[in-house]
Copies of this chain bind each other. A is one copy, B any other.
Amino acid sequence: MKKALIVINPNSTQSLTDGIAAALEPLHSFGIPIRCLTLAEGPPGIETQQQADLTIAPMLARAKREEPNALGYVIACFSDPGLYALRDGTALPVLGIQEAAMMTAMTLGQAVGVIAIKPASITRHMRAFGAMGVSGRIAGERALGLSVTALTGDGTLDAMIATGRALRDEDGAEVLIMGCAGMARYRDPLEQALGIPVVEPCQAAASMALGRIALNQSHKITGATDA
């Protein structure tokens, strides 16, 4: 099998993985294969820290199996479960979609707004932004109030526009992050409706990962003379 960037959706919903794959199509022109996988052992959707943490063991096992054919990894859940654990185990580039989305958003606007699916996710995301040391750039995070699996319903775009408008008008956000994998098809209509940039986190992470692969940029340097 040709080596590829491995994008792991740590939940078990194949339609979400399909949505991620579609989001990454514009990056095929870079000439590096991208393979999107569904973690069979994951829950249908990840809504709690407990669900997120319990995907780590099977995700690490899956990544290990893929390693011979891997050029790098993207963990495609906005909670970045196992991001540092996977980095511990490989020298290949590993990007998490929350981290990459934030790094991308910070170059598109000063005040960043985040659209979450569920209110309970906000506290988890805030801890992660704190760990990144970027809390000061968060204008606000607001939840749609829809379940992850219900994200295909008709009212989703309307809910996203309403939530994004509140982030923009009440919280002062100048750029939005979609705080969930699987929302990619709403990026363009959301930007058009609100007039501010919208970051789709899988796109952000995959494009950063491809750059790392091309540049041979790793978080782990082996064989150093003075480590």
Contact = CB atoms under 8 A, between A and B. Distances in A.
Interface of A: 26-27, 29-31, 48-50, 52-54, 56-57, 60, 82, 84-89, 95, 99-100, 103-104, 106-111, 122-124, 126-128, 130-137, 140, 165, 172, 174-175, 191-197, 199-200, 203-204, 207-208, 210-212, 214-221, 223-227
Contact of A195 (B99, B109, B132, B224): B224
Given A195-B227, A211-B207, A88 B48 contact: yes
How many copies of this chain are found per oligomer? 6
Given A30-B214, A192-B225, A203-B217, A131 B134 contact: no
A124 B88 CA distance: 11
In the complex, which of the residues A110, A127, A133 has the most CB atoms of chain B within 10 Å of its own CB atom? A133
Given A128-B131, A197-B219, 19 more contacts: A26-B215, A49-B85, A49-B87, A53-B84, A57-B57, A84-B124, A106-B132, A106-B133, A111-B123, A130-B130, A134-B134, A140-B172, A193-B224, A194-B226, A194-B227, A197-B221, A207-B210, A207-B214, A208-B208
A156 to B, nearest CB: 18
A47 to B, nearest CB: 10
Contact of A211 (B52, B194, B208): B208
Contacts of A203: 211, 215, 217
A84 B87 CA distance: 21
Say what secondary structure dominates the interface of chain A.
helix
Contacts of A174: 123
A216 B26 contact: yes
A69 to B, nearest CB: 19
A214 B207 CA distance: 9
26 contacts: A26-B215, A29-B30, A30-B30, A30-B214, A49-B85, A53-B53, A53-B82, A54-B56, A84-B127, A99-B106, A103-B107, A104-B208, A104-B217, A106-B132, A106-B133, A107-B219, A110-B123, A111-B123, A111-B126, A123-B174, A127-B131, A130-B132, A130-B136, A192-B225, A193-B224, A196-B227
